[in-house]
Amino acid sequence: MDLDYTHTYAANPERVVGLLRNEEFIADVARHAGATEHAVDITPDATTLTMSLPVPANVAKFVGSTMKLKQVFRFEAPASDGSIRGRVDVDVPGMPVDVKADALMVPQSNGSTEGRYTGDLKVKIPLVGKKVEAQVEPYIRDAFAGLERRAADWLTR
């Protein structure tokens, strides 16, 4: 399943990427996502958020009562035009679910950033993979949207 999400951030790309490398911000994202538990790991090369999220009954029959998500963000140095390329990978440990998305943070003339995430979601379960993809995709979308919502709050501080 193709993924294509566009977010607007009220700051330049370097500040947005800096926020995505901030442990307190990432922990805040997990709490606001309703995570029952989470862990954040920041290294010079990547930001990793691992969290467990409760799932509704219609998805629980496929994945259990909670879904563990592991999001890894990697960003390159800014390009000469101020844009920043990156990668966001989402893994669901113990499940045949794989999300890979390219990220592109582009400065806008008003000082904001357009963040575009494009990639795909794959569920490797014979016969029902596409059905499970359709049920898992809202959680992936919500995870990306949660970043945008929390960033909107944090960038006004």
pLDDT, one tens digit per residue, over 2-24 is 899 999 999 999 999 999 999 99
DSSP one-letter string for 136-153: HHHHHHHHHHHHHHHHHH
Q: Tell me the average pLDDT of the chain.
A: 89
Does position 59 have pLDDT exceeding 70, yes or no? Answer: no
How many whole angstroms separate alpha carbon 41 and alpha carbon 49? 7
Q: CA 152 to CA 64: how far, in whole Å?
A: 32
Identity of residue 144: F
Average pLDDT value for residue range 32-40 = 93
> Which fold, 2-154?
Alpha-D-Glucose-1,6-Bisphosphate; Chain A, domain 4 (3.30.530)
Quote the tokens at residue 115. 């963040």
* Secondary structure class of 125 (helix, strand, coil): coil
Q: What's the predicted TM-score (pTM) here?
A: 0.86
DSSP 8-class letter at 79 = P
Q: What is the pLDDT of residue 98?
A: 83
Query: Which residues are 67's β-sheet partners?
Result: 53
pLDDT per position as a tens digit, 104-152: 999 999 999 999 999 998 887 777 778 878 877 877 788 788 889 999 9
Using DSSP's 3-state secondary structure scheme, residue 95 falls into: coil
CA distance 15 to 121: 28
Q: Which helix (H) or strand (E) holds 71?
A: strand 66-75
Query: Quick one: pLDDT at residue 153?
Result: 94
Domain limits of the chain? Answer: 2-154
